[in-house]
Amino acid sequence: MRAPARLGLYGLGLVAVFAVTGLTANAIVPDETVRGWAESTDEHTDEHAGHTGHTDDADLLGLGLADHGYRLTAVSAPTTADADGELSLTVAAADSAPVTDFDLEHEKELHLIVVRADGQHFRHVHPRMSADGTWSIPWRWEAAGSYRVLADFVPTETGEGTTLSTSVQVAGAYDPVPSEPAVTATVDGFDLVLEGDLVAGEASGLTVTVARDGQPVTELEPYLGAFGHLVALRDGDLAYLHVHPHGDEPEAGETSGPQIAFEVVAPTEGRYLLYLDFQVDGEVRTAPFVVEAKAATGASDSRPSDEDSPTEDEQEGESHDH
């Protein structure tokens, strides 16, 4: 049994996400609109940088719908809920040619995150790429609404982590679900409790404890190179924050638990939607949480000590340029 390793901030990436509230029929945001949004990235970055002294342009990586000369094209999805189909897209380079060479990052060449504007129906999946550069996966929408599609990848040509996104509208009656603070979750008989305070602009320690039938779970299995995979979305605009546990990558057959610890940096005050992917008995499950990021009030006890903080070399070697 592998005791839980000391964990810290593994990767940080932010993508400004613009929720589309109008809903009449299924629509993919046109390339012309995408380019317009991308051109406004610098202005949007400046606005968020002013919210906290700990966040500046250098920290806000992957904010644009187009980034590092790449953009999403040929996005296609089913037009209505409860209809079987395919979700597909292509990553295009600056010359509009499809990109086909990607590096492995967290064991996959591309991570696709899809979530409705109200934070419901979250999915983290891994499509397959065909020879012509088209990424696709069988798809079925569970409900109507405005959805955000985010693609995380590392082009071999640049070796830089990149996150691109677009919006998809699914026709039908949209019944949004308001988010409410929640630090507990029950998924398939697993009970999870989130502990820790999220402080805007500071490294905040969050720990999730996993139990089943009242007993601590110590059989957490590696998933995507870690014992837990955490995604955070800022409520309202769905700004994207991607965090992994810090530490050595688990080896095959290793297990851990019952706690999974993270360091999270929220860019601003406000409500965040957290989604924890964890694996037990070969099955991946997702536990949702909702927490509030508060304003910093001087020194925070949640900031790790110098002894526990990763060294500069560790940070440079393990951070992912999302």
DSSP string computed for 241-274: EEE---SPPPPTT--B-SEEEEEE-BSSSEEEEE
Which class does domain 18-170 fall in? mainly beta
Other beta carbons within 10 Å of 173 = 9
How far apart CA 114 and CA 167 sit, in angstroms, is 9
Q: At what angle do helices 41-49 and 31-39 cross, to 10 degrees?
A: 40
Digits of tens for pLDDT over the chain (322 positions)? Answer: 433 433 333 333 333 333 333 333 344 545 544 444 444 333 333 333 333 334 443 344 434 578 889 999 999 999 999 999 999 999 999 999 999 999 999 899 999 999 999 999 999 999 999 999 999 999 999 999 999 998 989 999 999 988 888 999 999 999 999 999 999 999 999 999 999 999 998 888 899 999 999 999 999 999 998 999 998 888 988 777 767 676 678 988 899 999 999 888 888 999 999 999 999 999 999 999 999 999 988 644 444 444 444 444 444 434 344 4
The single-letter code of the amino acid at 37 is W
How far apart CA 188 and CA 286 sit, in angstroms, is 10
**Identical fold between 18-170 and 184-318:** yes
Burial class (CB in 10 A: 0-12, 13-18, 19+), 47: exposed
* CATH fold of the domain at 184-318: Immunoglobulin-like (2.60.40)
Q: Where are the domains of the chain?
A: 18-170, 184-318
